Each structure stands twice: as structure tokens, then as C-alpha cells.
Structure 1
Amino acid sequence: MRAGDGPSLAMLGARTLGNALGSGRNSLNALRLVFAAAVIVSHSWWLGGYGPESSLYGIKLGTAGVMGFFAISGYLITVSAERSNTVLEYAAARLTRIYPALAVAALIVAFVAAPVGALLTHGTYDPRGALAFLGAALALSIGVMDTPAIGTSLWGNHDRFDWNGPLWTLTWEGLCYVIVATIVFLLRRIPESRRGTATAIFLLLAASTGAVFGKLLAGGFGPNRTEFVLPLLAIFMAGSLLATQRHRVRVGAAPSLLAALAVWGALATGYGTALAPLPFAYLVLSIGSIGSMSAIGSRYDISYGIYIYGWPIQQLLAAAHTASHVPVLGFAALALVAAWPLGFLSCVAVEQPSQRIRRALMGRLAIRAATTTPGPSTTARDAGAMTPRA
């Protein structure tokens, strides 16, 4: 609690988002794993060529999974920013969380999966296309451009161009990181007694802007990237707003039910993009506050790896004509089974070592600052110490 904000619900003994999600016994990692699996299952209809996928109020299973990812990220990234002493500390945490695994996945797609795909489809492999794909992935620019094709390595597939479709969301997640950091760090210039309220106001404005313009420009959670961007930004900012008020927002069965009804009402009336982001983010975080699945992903969080490897695996399955021999859910199951070990390897061989290196380097910088700066110093804190890795 910040000075001048008054007593929080957490101090009064109520179960709030802050104490439920900060206790270490929560199910956010389990939820992210479910969301990653939902994205893979949803993509099976398109990549396997099984026909149109069913949706509810225009929202497909994969769309809901990405929305859930953004709600959780909005909360965790804001907590990370608030706990970071400097912009450098925050940026290092964010870059080492997503970038090393992304770089390895992009290299594997460009120089392993694409040549194999060309063999399976009898297409051509273009090294220049592979380099263009790698550059676009590393620049986080796939969200604002068409994914560069790697020759005709996917020529026989239903999707003949895109080797890793989900990477487009990382462009916009990265933008959200910048927005949150800008708000949190700039507002540290104002008195601490008013900082929490000001931060919440700015984040509420950001969430409202994305929600309203998402409704005006897109009209709903559309099937293409352009229509989907603003609602995603609104959901991220809604999660961020809840993070700033986490010690005041109560969690429980009754408010969760009300949030679910609010989401349903917003979607049923056609105002989902304008009205659903905040109750949806609350509902996701409230479910995540349940501790019954806290063991899942507590040591090995493989959700990100599954997310970035699922699509390439499905493209290879399609190139091998697997879809002609199994139903759509069988296709999805094979993709999930193949993605699990890659997600695990990404976690233990890339993501966790990157985090350890980041902590070691930031610790050394903190020690150096302590020995060169007079007066008391603050040791760099690990932004993810009390919450799942963001």
C-alpha cells in the first residue's frame, strides 16, 4: 500500500488479487498452459484444412486463448514494472523472458523446419526467404507485416505461406510492455501519495481507448489480425489496471460469477470489444488465483515454448498429409504431443538459463552501484520472485 491510499482490503484480511496471486500458490502458469493448448487445438482446423472452426459470438477457441494470455501478461508485467528499480532492470527482465526462446525458435523454423517442409511438400527452400523470416521474427515486426515466405516449402499445405503465425502477437505484446513501462516509470516523478491513483487513471484511459476504438473500428473480435489488435491491447491494459489495484480488488465466487455474466452480456449484445475486457481480465485472474493447480508449471513453465512451436509442428504434420488420416482432434493431439518436449527443452535449455544470467548480471550491477554510490542502496530485485514468470 502506498502512503495516503488508505487501508487496503488485504490489510483488512479480505482475499484480494494481490494476496491470492502473490502468495506463490496460484494457477496462472496452469492457465497459460491451457491457453497455449487451446491455441494449438484451434489452429488445427485451419492448418489441417478441416474447414471452418466453430465460434461463440465470433470468438474461436484460439482467440479466447490469446485473450487469456494478454490478461495474465497485463497483470504480471505491471507488477514487474512496479517492482523494478530502473528501466534497465525492467527491460532486462522482459527481453530475457521472451527474446532468447523466440530467437531459437525462429532459427529452428528458418533452417530446420523449412528445409524439412520443402522435402515433404516437394517445394523449394529459399535461404534468402529464411533470412527474411528470421529478421522479421527477431525484429518483432510480424505483427505489422506479412510473414516472409521461405520459398515454396509449404506449397502443398492449406496455409502455404506462414511458418509461425502466432508470432504476430509478440509485436503487440512488446508494445504493451513499452506502454506499461512508460506509464509506471514516468509517474514515479509525481508524489508517491498520488502515484497509485494516477497510474490507475492512465491505465484505465489506455484500456478504454483500446476497447472503444476496437468496437468502432472492428466491431468485434474479428478473424484477422487488424481487427483483433485493439481488443487485445484493451485486455492487456485491463489486466494492468487490475494489477495496480490488486490489494483492493476482492476475489471470490460471487464477484467471479458477476464478471462471467458481464462478459456474456457484453458479447451477447455485440459490445464485447467495448465492455468485455475488464470483466474478462478479472475473471481470468480470479480463476488463476485458485491454488489447486499451483504445482503445474511452478518448476517448468512450458506454455511459451508450446505457443511458439505449435504452429510449425502443425505445418509439418500437414506437409506429411497427416490430416487425411486422422480427425481434427487427432491432428491437434499429435501436435500437442510433439510440442510438449520442444516446450520443455525451450524452458530448461533457453528460458531458465537466460533468466539466471539476467539475475546474475543485474546482481553484479547492483553490487557495483552499491560500492560506487554513497549512502544506502537497494539491491536489484527479481521482478518474478512472488509471481509466476511473466
Structure 2
Amino acid sequence: MNSINPRLRIGELDALRGIAAVAVLLFHFTSGIAKNWTFHLYDPPFQFPYGGAGVDLFFMISGFVIFMTLDRAKSAASFAVGRFSRLYPTLWACAVITLLVTANFGLPGMEVNSGEALWNLTMLPRFVRARMIDGVYWSLEYELLFYVAMLILHLLGAFKKHTVPVLLLWLAAAAAAHGILTHLNAESLVYRLTGKIKAVTSLDYIHLFGVGMILYDSHRRRAWSAGHSLVLLVCGAIAWWKAESQLHFALVLAFGLLLHLATTGRLPFLNAKVLVFLGAISYPLYLIHQNIGLILLNALGAVTTSAWMRLGVTVVAMVLLAWVISVCIERPSMKWVREKMKRLTERGPPSPQHSADA
């Protein structure tokens, strides 16, 4: 079976990232205020209760993109450097900016000490029970651990011919872990061990990552098999089991369909300039919007009584801030790190004579 062109880029994926980021942003500035904060900022002009499910779409996209990236990567090192350059410099910049703003203007309940702040820079603050600089950082841990698991499985050759069996085993482990953590005594050894294993093996969200992975596998093989259908059915069953409501489950199904249509070229409108722009800034927009946005929403109360005006100004301001971070930090740092890696690779190891002379 012929694979897809290795240089092919699916632009619609970037647009979906932008849509997911905006959905999360609108949730945090509307329904999320009452859900996540004990103090009153303002009365939102409308409710957007399921915008937080945009993270589910992010995870599906990651399943597709990370599988695709590994499939095309020249080496494990190039994959690791690519992910590092994509994620860490922008995280560090957004974390520092958020710390400075919250330190100067305050956001009750979001104070962190210096040690906790440093742990946030690893993307794994919850491993040492450190408070997060911004609540949105919770998803980064799951993304990072998924990347590590994918790289290990890729190096073991698990995805060359065995994608479906590997995914089914991964999903079975997720279902077993969910059952144990739902029904067993929290004090039992099995419960505690399961919680630790689940934390480092992406079991919480593999049913979402798995949707993207199986869609990419069919994409690269240019064929759909019974095994692909079985994986999707299992992903759907776990999503139904874990969904907060019937509407949440319906959204997960809709996201899976949306990803399929987008990656098969059936949604050309996703290439609209505004969606491409939002996709380009989606990562810094996701990282920077919540705490700083809430501070701005609160401050605007001294300027206007219009909830629509406060929300509109805040959304525009967060988009502009994310764009500045993308242009000034995200893209240059990504380019610098990858070019540095390329030069080191092209230079190669020093010759024995050169090494001895050194």
C-alpha cells in the first residue's frame, strides 16, 4: 500500500487547532468563570458550557499529528528536538509573562512560589503536586507523556504493521484502569498502583489520541479496514463511559467526524485566512489567555458596564498578545533550535584525529 506524500501538510489541522483554542477561551470567559472561580468577575453576556471540550479536539489532533510526525521523522532525535522547539520556548515565555502579570495585578488562588514556578517549566508540575501557574497547563502533562509513549512504541517498531493491535491493547488497559479507579477501594494497593501507571502511560485520554492515530493510519495506507473500525468503536465506547453527559459524548463523536472530514479534504472552508491565522497562534493563545484575560475582564469593570464590551476587548487583546508571542518568540525560537540541530547533524561527529587534537 502506498503511503501519502511525506511532504504533504494538512492545513485544515491548523484551523481545527485555532477553533479548539477559541472554544476553550470562550468557555473560560463565560461558563468557566462560575465553575472555576469563587469570586465574582462579571456577568457573562452568554454561556458557552461545552467550550472546554475543545481540549478533547486538541487531543484527537495530537494523535493524528504526532503519529504523522513520527512516521516522517528522520530519527528519534529529530522528533524530540522538533517537539521541544515547538513546545518549551513558548511555554517558558507564556509562563514568565503570566507570572509577571499576576504578581503585579493579582488573581486570588493562582499564586505560586518560585519552586512551583520552576516545576511548571517542565510541563510536569502535578508530578510533585506543585500548583500550576495557569490552570490550562493541566493538558500539557498528558500531551508530553503521550509523545514519550509514542516515541518508545515507534522505536520498538510497534506501528510498522501492528497499529491496530497496539491501540486495542492500549485502549483495553485504559478501560481496565478506569474500571479499577471507579469501583475499587481507594486505599487498596491495586488502586494506588493503577493510578500511578495510568499517570505515566496516557491512559486517561488514549481514547481521544487513538481517534487521531487510527485516522492517520488509514490516511497513510489509503485504505480503511475492519481493524480501523474496531478501534474507533472501542474509542467511542470508552468516550461514552467517561463522558460527563450525553451532549459531551455527542461532541466527542462530532469532533472525530470533523477530524476525518478535515484530513480527507472535505472541509475546504477551513483554509479561510482567519482560521489559518487562529491556527498559527493557537498554542500561545491557549497558554496565555486564561489568567491574564480574567485580570483584564475584571479591570475593564472600572471602564465600562457592558459585558459584551468587556468580553470583546478581552478576546481581541488575548488574540493580539498571542500573535505577538508567536511572531516574536514561538517562530524564531523554533527556527533557531531546529537550525542548530540541523547544523550539528550535518557536521557529524568529529574525526578521531580531530578529537585527539582537541
Question: Normalising by structure 1, what TM-score?
Answer: 0.66
Shift of 1:125: 11
Shift of 1:344: 0.8
Shift of 1:279: 5.6
Say if 2:170 is the partner of 1:206.
yes
Shift of 1:197: 1.9
Candidates 79, 82, 91, aligned match of 2:71: 82
227-236 or 305-314, larger mean C-alpha shift: 227-236
Other-structure match for 1:137: 120
Shift of 1:262: 7.7
Candidates 264, 286, 305, aligned match of 1:325: 305
Candidates 20, 43, 61, aligned match of 2:51: 61
Describe how 1:1-390 pairs up with structure 2 within 5 A: 7=1, 23-24=8-9, 26-44=11-29, 45-47=31-33, 49=40, 50=43, 55=49, 60-62=50-52, 64-110=53-99, 112-118=100-106, 129-144=112-127, 148=131, 163-187=133-157, 196-211=160-175, 213-214=177-178, 217=181, 230-248=203-221, 272=243, 282-289=256-263, 290-294=267-271, 295=273, 296-297=275-276, 301-320=280-299, 322=301, 325-327=305-307, 331-369=310-348
How high is the sequence identity, in percent, across the aligned residues? Answer: 24
Other-structure match for 1:14: none
- Against the structure 1 CA distance between its residues 146 and 271, is the aligned structure 2 distance closer, same or farther, given a 3 Å change threshold? closer
User: Matches of 1:114 and 1:167 in 2, distance apart?
Assistant: 16
User: Matches of 1:318 and 1:83 in 2, distance apart?
Assistant: 43
Task: Tell me the SS of whatever aligns to 2:97.
Answer: helix
* Residue identity matched to 2:321: L
Q: CA RMSD in A?
A: 4.3
Shift of 1:182: 0.5
Q: How big is each residue's C-alpha offset from its partner over 1:138-182, in whole Å with a ceiling of 9 and x where there is no partner? A: 12123446553xxxxxxxxxxxxx651101110111000000000
- Against the structure 1 CA distance between its residues 318 and 39, is the aligned structure 2 distance closer, same or farther, given a 3 Å change threshold? same
- Against the structure 1 CA distance between its residues 216 and 277, is the aligned structure 2 distance closer, same or farther, given a 3 Å change threshold? farther
- Against the structure 1 CA distance between its residues 268 and 133, is the aligned structure 2 distance closer, same or farther, given a 3 Å change threshold? closer
* Residue identity matched to 1:209: A
User: Matches of 1:80 and 1:125 in 2, distance apart?
Assistant: 35
Question: Normalising by structure 2, what TM-score?
Answer: 0.71
User: Matches of 1:218 and 1:125 in 2, distance apart?
Assistant: 30
Shift of 1:249: 5.6
Other-structure match for 1:376: none
Unaligned runs of 5+ in 1: 1-6, 11-17, 149-161, 189-194, 220-225, 252-257, 374-390
- Against the structure 1 CA distance between its residues 320 and 84, is the aligned structure 2 distance closer, same or farther, given a 3 Å change threshold? same
* Residue identity matched to 1:244: D
User: Matches of 1:41 and 1:278 in 2, distance apart?
Assistant: 18
- Against the structure 1 CA distance between its residues 345 and 96, is the aligned structure 2 distance closer, same or farther, given a 3 Å change threshold? same
Partners of 1:74 and 1:237 within 8 A in 2: yes
User: Matches of 2:238 and 2:78 in 1, distance apart?
Assistant: 39
User: Matches of 1:207 and 1:331 in 2, distance apart?
Assistant: 44
Shift of 1:66: 0.1
User: Matches of 1:37 and 1:281 in 2, distance apart?
Assistant: 15
Q: How big is each residue's C-alpha offset from its partner over 1:252-309, in whole Å with a ceiling of 9 and x where there is no partner? A: xxxxxx99x989x869965659x98996664242242333322443797100011001
- Against the structure 1 CA distance between its residues 82 and 340, is the aligned structure 2 distance closer, same or farther, given a 3 Å change threshold? same
Query: How many aligned positions are there?
Result: 313
**Where is the helix percentage greater, Structure 1 or Structure 2?**
2
Shift of 1:41: 0.8
Partners of 1:140 and 1:170 within 8 A in 2: yes
Partners of 2:62 and 2:212 within 8 A in 1: yes
